[in-house]
Chains A and B, each alone.
Chain A
Amino acid sequence: MIAEALKGKTILVTGSTGFLGKSIVEKCLRSIPDVARINLAIRSSARRPASERLEREVLSSPAFKRLKDELGEERFGKLASEKLAVIEIDLGRDGLGLSDAAREQLRACDVVIHSAAAVEFDNPADLSAQTNLLGAARLVEALRASGARPHLVHISTAYVGGMLRGRVREEPPLDPGLNWRHEAEVMSSLRAPVEEESRRPEVLNKLRREARSRMGPAGTPAVARATERLRDRWVKDRLVERGRTHANAMGFSDIYSFTKAMAEQAVVELHGDIPLSIVRPSIIESALAEPFAGWLEGFRMAEPLILAFGRNILRDFSGLPDSLLDIIPADLVVNTVLAVAANPPPDTEPRVYHAASGSRNPLRLRRMAGEAGIYFTAHPLRDRYGQAIGTPSWTFPTRQEIATQARLALRLVEAAQWVVERLPLGASVAQVSDDLNAERDRLDRGLNLIQLYGVYTEVDCIFDTRNVMALWEKVPAAERTEFPFDPALYDWSHYFQNVHFPTVVRMSRAETTARRGKQPSGSTAPKTESSSVRATIERRSGRADVLAVFDVDGTLVETNVVEYFLWMRLRAQPLDEWPSFMARMLRQAPRWLYLERRSRAEFQRSFYREYDGLDPEVMQRLGREALDAVTLRRIYPEGMRRIREHKRAGHRVLLLTGALDVVVEPLAELLDVEVDCAHLLVNDGRLTGDLESPPPAGEARSALLEEYAGRNGVVLSESFAYADSLSDLPMLELVGSPVAVNPDARLSQVAGQRGWRIERWRMAPGNWRLPMPDPRSPEYLEAVRR
């Protein structure tokens, strides 16, 4: 009945780059060999033309693997070129932006399956309205304008009725008293005022303060970028929020179901004499059997929940334990759609079909939690220690209770993080900070899930499937195995244990087997640690256009500009002047700490004023002495080893630092590497405390580095940078292989997010001394005498 009816027909599928669209195209190709042609409505994106998107986003999908295996690559290619064609259709434009040829193609279609939609529940209001509502309206209008009368199968959602109770019938939508044109207008025009609001001084200042506190030392451009990112997020959050509130106010749980409901209104109003069928799937999840068991693309609705359960992120979940959770496998939806497509309504009255499991094969929330418990007990996910993660047992409190708890916990963690980030402890708090970050992430995600999906677990309605079942009755027995769509045909335990949960876990790439090394083989033989950075150095060996740039203070040597200064000054001062000098330094300390937090450059500027009036020659001699007394004692042996590895590999090595020439140049000379550091101006044979050029911190570093690279023909994308603090971020961003060495809390966070290599280098143990010369040594006495 289905294959026969669609024989020789030309089908148009919109949204064919999406999960459902792809599944429909695949099923048509595989099970309806005599279909005349399948037109795929694809829009050229900014990066790729439509035909390339067909190749890369549709045909290369795993959905087609079965067909390729059955036919072989060659015959598959032939079949695809024979049956598939692209129509450039842009649902975002009135008239769909059709060319004449495309209009011709459109007119030739016998069936149009409209499956394009923005399916995320947390899309901004304007995007949802444009895609879901206006897209559908534009399509119908274009069809009518083209003069064609194809059978339009509009794919909607079962939740278009809003949060109803009881039985939901397969009928054209009730008129909720809303004008879809007006709603579309309202939502589309939301962005402009929100954008404007985001630029109001109080909002923008707040965002800048936040960006500054996170990225301050990385320099103005980095802060500006962070601010803009925050503002974008702010706008999106506001639009999502507005969309959700608006949908809620209209009696819908989220923007998706609201816009889909409006779209149904529009389609029904506009379709005129075009035969119209509406298929309303409930929650579509991985395919039961076709094209393969567990075919799924992208994380949809229940997956984050399931993973959160498996990872024990959601210690509890709200909802009514006996409420129906209406999940339907994707291949059943595809078959329903094709069956509907094969049975156009005889008149212009629209027909509605529910692709839902609730009435035939009900699944209750408690059952799903139980199945998840069974599955994750048998196949637990692993934490970072390789230990199995236990599963929670949910008690199903109300949504408000659980959200309040989570919000409180989130506040506490954020407060702790605020404190930790402001402690002047550098790398030593990185671990605590990382832990807090992970905890905040966990709470954030949990809260988000509760907000987004909580309402779906409180649904108390059953979707009627009488129309679908009537269709099913018409399917001859011979075709029932080819196109099964009766939800009573499978068992939930089988579906979850063998199909869906394994799919979700596989797609999340979560750790499920105990790691090798961690397995109790019992062997204690020492293992050599492999370093991916060293492997990379090896790979790029022998290339003179590769640069390794190192920060010095805190990256190669455990010291900072203050310690050098202390040492050099104390060395040249009689013992009885030490206390007053130290007291003066201590008084300044809080100010320096504050400046350092805001910006490394400001701190260095301010600190170097202390050099005002000193004799440059004396400082030079002291700097050389500081090499043995301070620098070499506090050096990181791993750092030295790394520099030599780079040199052995033939790379250029550059020390880029804000430290003063007098202390860094002796080290660079010893290492035989290039150096770029701070120089103080000399006036009348005395240091002035002013810098010759801006301190090389933050964006100034990246500028210096770029200039250096240009001058010396260095390929930065193949180069390495090593640094320890957020003020080096612009420099790290510039190279292909950034390495965060002993990162402070803020850099550690950034490095973690971007997947940068983090290394911990240590001083040789037993070498730490106060940065003070030994007042008893003849050398000191001699220096003071001089």
Chain B
Amino acid sequence: MPRPGAVIEVDRNTPPVLFHFGEGIRLEKMPLGARIVYPPDPLEPIGHPERAIKRALAKPLEDDPLKSLLRRGMKLTIAFDDLSLPLPPMAAPDVRQLVMEEVIDMAAEAGIDDLHIIAALGLHRRMTEDELRHIVGDRIFSTFHPERLYQHDGEDPENNVYVGKTAQGEEVTLNRRAAESDLVIYVNLTLVPMDGGHKSMSTGLASYRGIRAHHNVKTLLGSRSYMNPPDSALHHSCIRQGQLIEDTVRVFHIETTVNNHAFPAIANFMQKRETDWTAQDQAIFLATKQMTDLAPPAFKRNVFHAMRAPYGLTAVNAGQVDAVHDKTLDAVNRQIAVRVEGQTDIVTIGVPYLGPYNVNAAMNPVLVLCMGAGYLFNFYRNKPVLRKGGVLILTHPCRYEFDAVQHPSYIDFYDEVLADTKDPAEIEKKYELRFAEDPWFRQLYRKSHAYHGAHPFYALYWAAHAMDHAGDIIIVGGDRDVVHHLGLKCATTLEDAFEMAEQTVGRYPSITHLRTPPIMLCEVE
């Protein structure tokens, strides 16, 4: 039985603790009395994934067996999550490949010819052929690409339909092929509680018009947090949109979850608690530290981004969306939930090299903010680990670097918008529409591999709650100009950051370090 997550109090025997630091790592000695929160160990994966998938499809939750839904001559569409999940990308074969191969076999048996496979990427970037091939596997790729395996285009005026308005006035749009299909099968991979459920269809196959209904400052400030769907205005909105979609088109959901085995054997020390490090782990840590301290960023990036995670499948459920998603969230919470008692004045988090939006790219400053003050801060239930007005300390080199192909709108967002103001509400009002409708960004989103023009705004909104909640956000080891440009504070060392934080939270603050990733969800009491 794997160990559950743990909260350790730092005493004289506690070894220094690992901080992720972009494409690097730091080992920091925490002050005596501080808490370190560790995620649970990886759950045992399911022994025979193929068998589990077959079983789930044969006995779906609150729905008929998939086989009975498939019939000759029908218009069938499979939609699947894009490469923003899981992180790092899963070592082949990807769970989605296994599920889709099963589904396609069944469809073939049923004699279905009209089958399209669509990557449900919302306003994310188009994947390269290599990336697409990695998710769906060689067999599917060579059979269906490019005519029948392609990627959703939220800016294609021909191929998006307006579905209607929810009771709350949220507009709903959907990919035309999906909307006109007799059956849509959504193949999902849920890594964090934010994903899956109604959100899959209502964002993955939507256009800007539909997504802006909940990807905005007001909704995100009302989501506490968006990692816990019951407390998340974002999810309430997605559910309303999703229900409208379910009324329009028949959707069969297949959701999978994986354990938190995020790092391959070579980076095993990142997975393990410092007290468990063996001599080998110590040696690899030292070697990695030397390499990352000395190597140029581009080289480090290549090494880190080549890492594939040995995730194991922990659950697969199929059928009606709500029933399926409840089971999925149970499985996810079993893997990532940690009970934490009470809030502290300071929370420290090491920001890793990778977030959902920079697969195979540099993590630019806006994404650092999104990852640290957005995702990692929001992994809580009930209330944040950080008390209101406390200080959030992140570690990341936060360099001025952008991937020109994937993040062109981020460059302009950083250069023009953040130079003007850092206030999310003002930014939303003044700039979002201009970027979203910029023809150049639209072209790059549609034809190249760029995130949508509105995407940098979402990255900032993701962090709006933390920026509102925290008294200060300090980035340790960041490029000073860049950190200031983001409207945050910059410290050279962790000790200096604690000193600076005392200005806000007083002498002898309480401190919690979240030793993540692997990801965890703090249930704060």
Q: A632-B444, A670-B448 are in contact. Are A766 and B362 (CB under 8 A)?
A: yes
* Contact indicator B401/A765 (Cβ below 8 Å): yes
- For window 421-479 of B, CB contacts with A under 8 Å fall at 438-440, 443-444, 447-450
Asked if B400 CB lies within 8 Å of chain A CBs, one says yes
Closest to B411 in A: A637
Binary CB contact string for chain B from 378 to 417 against chain A (1 if under 8 A, 0 otherwise) = 0000000000000000000001111111001001100110
B419 is an interface residue with CB less than 8 A from chain A: yes
Contact of A779 among B130, B439, B444 (CB under 8 A): B130
- A628–B405 contact, CB under 8 A? yes
Write out the residue numbers on chain A whose beta carbons fall within 8 Å of the beta carbon of B130. 777-779
- Whether A764 and B402, one on each chain, are in contact in the complex, defined by CB atoms closer than 8 angstroms, is yes
Q: Number of B interface residues, CB 8 Å?
A: 29
Assess whether A637 is in contact with B443, with CB atoms less than 8 Å apart.
no
**B106-135 toward A: CB 8 Å interface, digit per residue (1/0)?**
000000000000000000000011100100
Q: How far is the CA of A643 from the CA of B444 in the complex (A)?
A: 15
> How far apart are the CA atoms of A426 and B496 in the complex, in Å?
43
Q: How many residues of A contact B (CB 8 A)?
A: 26
Given A628-B449, A637-B415, A641-B412, decide whether A767 and B404 contact each other with a Cβ distance below 8 A: yes
Pair A628/B448 contact, Cβ less than 8 Å: yes
Nearest chain A CB to B468 CB, angstrom units = 23
Within 8 A of B (CB), among A738-779: 763-767, 769, 777-779
Q: Smallest CB–CB gap between A771 and chain B, Å? A: 15
Let me know if A644 is at the binding interface, CB within 8 A: yes
Contact with B along A405-442 (1 / 0, CB 8 A): 00000000000000000000000000000000000000
Is A635 among interface residues, defined by CB-CB distance under 8 A? yes
B49 in the interface (beta carbon within 8 A): no
Counting chain A CB atoms within 10 Å of each CB, which of B128, B440, B449, B450 scores highest? Answer: B440
- B264 close to chain A: CB less than 8 A: no
Closest to B302 in A: A774
Nearest CB to that of A636 among chain B residues?
B404
Q: Given the interface contacts A765-B401, A766-B362, does A644 sit within 8 Å of B448 by beta carbon?
A: no
Residue A672 CB within 8 A of the other chain:
yes
Interface of B, helix, strand, loop or mixed by DSSP:
helix
Q: List chain A residues, Cβ under 8 A from B438.
A: 644
Which chain A residues lie closer than 8 Å to B412 at the CB level?
637, 641
B1 within 8 A of A: no
- In the complex, whether B294 has a CB less than 8 A from a CB of chain A is no
Interface contact A632-B440, CB-CB below 8 Å? no
Q: Mark B154-165, 1 if CB is under 8 A from A, else 0.
A: 000000000000
- Known A671-B440, A766-B297; judge A637-B408 contact (CB<8 A): yes
A contacts with B: majority SS? helix
How long is the Cα–Cα vector from A415 to B447 in the complex, in angstroms? 51
Flag B290-318 by CB within 8 Å of A: 1 or 0 each.
Answer: 00000001100000000000000000000
Give chain B residues whose Cβ lies under 8 Å from the Cβ of A528.
419
Q: Which residue of B lies closest to A763 (CB)?
A: B404
Contact status B419-A634, CB under 8 Å? no
Within 8 A of B (CB), among A630-653: 632-635, 637, 640-641, 643-644, 647
Complex contacts, B399 vs chain A, CB 8 Å = 765-766
Q: CB distance A767 to B400 under 8 Å?
A: no
Give 1 or 0 for each of A655-681: 1 = CB within 8 Å of chain B CB. Answer: 000000000000000111000000000
Is the pair A764, B129 in contact by a Cβ cutoff of 8 Å?
Answer: no
Query: Shortest beta-carbon distance, A768 to chain B, in Å?
Result: 8
Instruction: Check if B411 sits within 8 Å of A526, measured CB to CB.
Output: no
Asked if A627 is an interface residue, CB under 8 A from chain B, the answer is yes
* Min distance, Cβ A643 to any Cβ of chain B, angstroms: 8
Do A765 and B400 form a contact, CB below 8 Å, given A640-B440, A779-B130?
Answer: yes
Q: Which residue in chain A gives the minimum CB-CB distance to B439?
A: A672
Known: A627-B448, A766-B298. A526 touches B405 (CB 8 A): no
CA distance A627 to B128 in the complex (A): 13
CB distance from B367 to the nearest CB of A (A): 13
Compute how far the CA of A405 lies from the CA of B182 in the bound complex, rounded to whole angstroms.
92
When the two chains form their complex, are residues A767 and B403 in contact, meaning their CB atoms are under 8 A apart?
yes
Complex: A767 Cα to B410 Cα, angstroms:
14
Taking a contact as CB atoms under 8 Å apart, the answer to whether A670 and B444 are in contact is: yes
Closest residue to A641 on the B side, CB-wise? B412
Question: For A778, what are the chain B residues with a Cβ–Cβ distance below 8 Å?
Answer: 129-130, 133
Cβ–Cβ contact A632 & B404, under 8 A:
yes
CA gap between A488 and B129 in the complex, in Å: 93
Option from A526, A627, A672, A764 in Cβ contact (under 8 Å) with B404: A764
Task: Specify the chain B residue showing the minimal Cβ separation from A640.
Answer: B440
Q: CB within 8 Å of A: which residues of B?
A: 128-130, 133, 297-298, 362, 399-405, 408, 411-412, 415-416, 419, 438-440, 443-444, 447-450
A-B contact pairs, 23 of them (CB 8 A): A526-B419, A528-B419, A627-B448, A632-B450, A633-B404, A633-B405, A635-B408, A637-B404, A643-B440, A671-B443, A764-B401, A764-B403, A764-B404, A765-B400, A765-B402, A766-B297, A766-B298, A766-B402, A767-B403, A767-B404, A778-B130, A778-B133, A779-B128
Could you list 10 further interchain pairs (A-B, Cβ under 8 angstroms) beyond the known A632-B448, A766-B362?
A526-B419, A640-B408, A644-B439, A644-B440, A765-B402, A767-B401, A767-B402, A769-B298, A779-B128, A779-B130
Q: Which A positions have Cβ atoms within 8 angstroms of B?
A: 526, 528, 627-628, 632-635, 637, 640-641, 643-644, 647, 670-672, 763-767, 769, 777-779
